[in-house]
Amino acid sequence: MKRLQSENFKLAASLKISFGIDDLPLAIDGLVRSLKKSEVPPLIYMKGKTCTGCSVSLLNFTRQSPSKLIINHDNLVTTSGNISPHNIAIDLIRRYTSGKIGPYFFALEGSIPKDPANCYMANRPISDWVRRAGKTCLSAVSFGNCASDGNPNITSGANSNHMSLEEFFKQENINKPVIHVPGCPVGHEHIVSLIVDLVKSQYPHILERKKEKNYLLKSL
């Protein structure tokens, strides 16, 4: 339990950095800032089958560039030359999900089609990327109804053809914590509320717990 609480605290810091959140309650913000940057694992953000509503919503409030939101890593900012930020991001994601670089958190927007041919990222089925990430990440976050419930919001019968992140992990026998952040789309208030409660999982005395939530902690 202590290990999970510590990982939750680091995830809170990773979310704050990745999305450029600067309006947290002072007590929460101070605790998150107490972590050294070297102690905060990056956040790898992937996109499955979705309407892109969550991406648009999240990018509208983030203070980071889209490239840095994909993976919060200094190499995306400092690398120069003829290599595009997209290719650098894909290479970093590939190396992180191989387990060869270091610890990281994984976030998914969108559902996972049961037919791998229905959704690709960098010439590979998204299911391949998610499988690799699930096996090597510290914990995962499903952003939006599609990733949380497996519903891509396309047709009323679409659920039978798509899986949520948690369903996919179960199918692949991947035993990693999954934090659900439902919403269509997910917005700024969802991320702030999540960060607050992640910090409170290690420091439960810091604030009164809200009666209503915009998200659900699972497997923690």
Q: Where residue 218 falls among pLDDT bands split at 50, 70, 90?
A: very low
Structure confidence by residue, pLDDT tens digits, 21-60: 888 988 889 889 889 888 899 999 888 887 777 777 776 6
Q: Are 143 and 181 in contact (CB under 8 A)?
A: yes
For residues 148 and 182, is the Cβ–Cβ distance under 8 A?
A: yes
Element (H, E) at 198: helix 188-200
Task: Say which residue the tokens 């798509």 belong to.
Answer: 162
* Per-domain boundaries in the chain: 41-189
- Average pLDDT across the chain, whole number: 79
User: pLDDT value at position 10?
Assistant: 93
Q: How confident is the model at residue 188 (pLDDT cuts 50, 70, 90)?
A: confident
CA distance 158 to 139: 27
| Of the ranges 63-67, 152-156, 178-182, the best mean pLDDT one | 178-182
The pLDDT tens digits of the residues spanning 81-126 come to 455 556 777 888 899 999 988 999 999 988 999 998 888 888 889 9
Q: What is the CATH number of domain 41-189?
A: 3.40.50.700
